[in-house]
Structure 1
Amino acid sequence: MSLAVRRIAIIGMGLIGGSLGLAFKAARGGKIEITGIDTNELSLIRARQRGAADSVTADSKAGAAEADMVILCTPVLQAAALVKEIAPYLKPGTILTDTCSTKSYLIKEIAAVLPAGVSYVPGHPMAGREKSGIEAADSTLFCDKWYILIPPANSDAAAIEAVRRVVGWTGARITEMEAGRHDRCTALISHVPHIGAAALVNLLSYAEDKDSSIKLAGGGFRDTTRIASSNADMWADVCMTNAGPIADSLDKFSQIIGEVASAIRRGDRACVHGFFAAAQERRDELLQLEQAVTEQPLSNGR
């Protein structure tokens, strides 16, 4: 059975929520109706002006009540709290999904309050920018990027297919993954790099020549630390809800940095050279793999 999705409520009209709204309207136009929900009045005004929503409200309960699909686009701890608030107001047959970066925690929290007749299909788009807010939203943000669905056991097949179809409107590449595996992978390739970028910026605070270092910082430093400009609320929530995998990856990262520091101190050029050579080889492999995947045709119905 194919579930019709005509009314979509997006809670959180920032970068991700706004980009979803823009992408949905670009693909479907008047065939769908989008309600934008946010506590920030300016975000709602701009979402309406930019065409990311047909109507807007700060009332999440009323805004979600008549939706066929509700998409949570907030920091993960806010998402868990929001579901508890709106759950009694969701109509039977509603599909709930989200875009949060951690999954095991959220699946457990939502399962505890999900009403009968409402299906939950967790999601996570592997796309973003260092800037947040509706002004940074872009209808092409998800195009050719991975969008991961993490259906819990015994998920409704029709609901999963409906989320696949709606996500497909964005031009994303859709795949499925188990929650624990997702959280381990994103800790390694997304969460730790954000922490590393923030650490590099904070390292400037310990510099004896901080002002000169800042003045001389060029493209390399800016490129490496670009993602440190990301939303602090979102990343604090990520760390609190994916603590184990993140801490494990940080421990390994610290070990690698410690080994390089020791090799540099003892003047072991061969060891230091091997460190850079191995990284160069691995990154080249990753770029080749990424190129091969990008050249594959989309299979999501676009």
Structure 2
Amino acid sequence: MKIKRIAIIGLGLIGGSLGLALKKQCGEEVRITGVDHDPKTLELAVQRGAVDYSTNDWKKGVEHADIIFLCTPVLQIIPIVEQILPYVKVGGILTDVGSTKGFLAEKLLGMMPTGIHYVSGHPMTGIERSGIMAADQGLFNDKWYILIPEASTSPEAVAIISQILTWTGARITTMELADHDQCAAIISHIPHVVAAALVNLLGKYPTLEESFKLVGGGFRDTTRIASSNADMWADICLTNSQPITQSLLQVKELLDEMIQAVEKADRPAIHHFFKRAKVRRDILIEETDSHVV
């Protein structure tokens, strides 16, 4: 299948960066149409070169597309697919970038008409800023992009999307559905919840907020992702609720252990809490770095 036209719905950080990366690689060989509800975003996407043409009209946006990337918050994806399906051509492939896959697979797999395919995907990349002005053509470079074959409609469609994504510089891998959602909860979703909690904790001490200029690198680094898009993260929590709540309860157990150790002035227990984390993280980082080509 020769890809000539791509549509990107949702021209925020991920959608905009995807457009910039694909245009850099493909130039005029592939025409990209951007679809968004915000007029300023549509204008800026064209100005920045992320898309060749932009529109807020579903039909004009997708009717000629070989591939349609759905790059909106998770809870917006199902209603959007319902709107665009009448205009998607036979042979077209829809693929999303949502951070939770089980919720979408349950809904989308039963919606696809004969001849239209769906591929479940998730780029493991991002920054704390959002919107088209935060888009970066190098956002996907050397970052993992996960595809979920069991939540997709055909191996052929998965192979096509995999090939297209290599144009962005991403490293492609596959996972099983349940493993993905549990893994994403622990390595992505929970860190965002915890970062937000730390910032909200600071809000309980108004006098300290006035001294934020004194905050060192530790707090800034740990809470950087708390500046991420609230709409996106609200949707993620609602659509991956079981793995997230389970993991948060386990975090609570660990914090309870620490509270008890501090209250009892149990230095060996406190030391063990930090030591086991350091050892485990150092091993994980070493193993990860050793697998980087």
When the two structures are superposed, what TM-score results if normalisation uses the length of structure 2? 0.97
Are 1:34 and 2:66 counterparts?
no
Partner letter of residue 128 of structure 2? E
Counterpart CA distance in 1 for 2:144 and 2:19 is 18
Q: How many residues align?
A: 293
Unaligned runs of 5+ in 2: none
Partner letter of residue 137 of structure 1? A
Contact 2:120 2:152 in 1 (8 A): no
Counterpart CA distance in 2 for 1:176 and 1:285 is 24
Q: Which moved more, 1:272-281 or 1:58-67?
A: 58-67
1:187, CA displacement in angstroms? 0.2
Q: Which residue of 2 aligns with 1:141?
A: 139
Q: Which moved more, 1:279-288 or 1:182-191?
A: 279-288
Contact 1:13 1:47 in 2 (8 A): yes
- 1:36 aligns to what SS in structure 2? strand
Partner letter of residue 202 of structure 1? N
What whole-Å deviation, never above 9, does each CA across 1:153-180 have from its counterpart, x for those lacking one? 6732221111011100011110011111
- 2:291 aligns to what SS in structure 1? helix
Q: Structure 2 matches for 1:184-199, cutoff 5 A?
A: 184-199=182-197
Q: Structure 2 matches for 1:204-283, cutoff 5 A?
A: 204-207=202-205, 209-283=207-281
Contact 2:151 2:177 in 1 (8 A): no
Q: Which residue of 1 aligns with 2:60?
A: 62
1:214, CA displacement in angstroms? 2.6
Counterpart CA distance in 2 for 1:286 and 1:142 is 22
1:5, CA displacement in angstroms? 1.3
Q: Which residue of 2 aligns with 1:300?
A: none
Distance 1:246 1:92, change over 3 A: same
Q: Which residue of 2 aligns with 1:92?
A: 90
Tell me the C-alpha RMSD between the 2 structures. Answer: 1.3
Identity of aligned residues (%): 52
Residue from 75, 78, 82 that aligns with 1:77: 75
Counterpart CA distance in 1 for 2:3 and 2:261 is 58
Contact 1:61 1:85 in 2 (8 A): no
Q: Which residue of 1 aligns with 2:103?
A: 105
Distance 1:153 1:227, change over 3 A: closer
Are 1:155 and 2:158 counterparts?
no
Counterpart CA distance in 1 for 2:172 and 2:3 is 18
Partner letter of residue 119 of structure 1? H
1:89, CA displacement in angstroms? 1.3
Contact 1:197 1:226 in 2 (8 A): yes
Partner letter of residue 147 of structure 1? Y
What whole-Å deviation, never above 9, does each CA across 1:4-54 have from its counterpart, x for those lacking one? 211000000110000000100111111100001100111111110111000
1:87, CA displacement in angstroms? 1.1
Partner letter of residue 232 of structure 1? A
Counterpart CA distance in 2 for 1:219 and 1:97 is 38
Counterpart CA distance in 1 for 2:86 and 2:290 is 46
What whole-Å deviation, never above 9, does each CA across 1:195-217 have from its counterpart, x for those lacking one? 00000000012227433553432
1:231, CA displacement in angstroms? 0.2
**Runs of at least 4 residues of structure 1 off by over 4 A?**
none
Partner letter of residue 55 of structure 2? T
Counterpart CA distance in 2 for 1:61 and 1:242 is 31
Q: Which residue of 1 aligns with 2:199?
A: 201
Q: Which residue of 1 aligns with 2:46?
A: 48
Residue from 2, 6, 9 that aligns with 2:7: 9
Counterpart CA distance in 2 for 1:117 and 1:208 is 58
Contact 1:14 1:133 in 2 (8 A): yes
Contact 1:38 1:60 in 2 (8 A): no
Contact 1:146 1:173 in 2 (8 A): yes
1:112, CA displacement in angstroms? 2.8
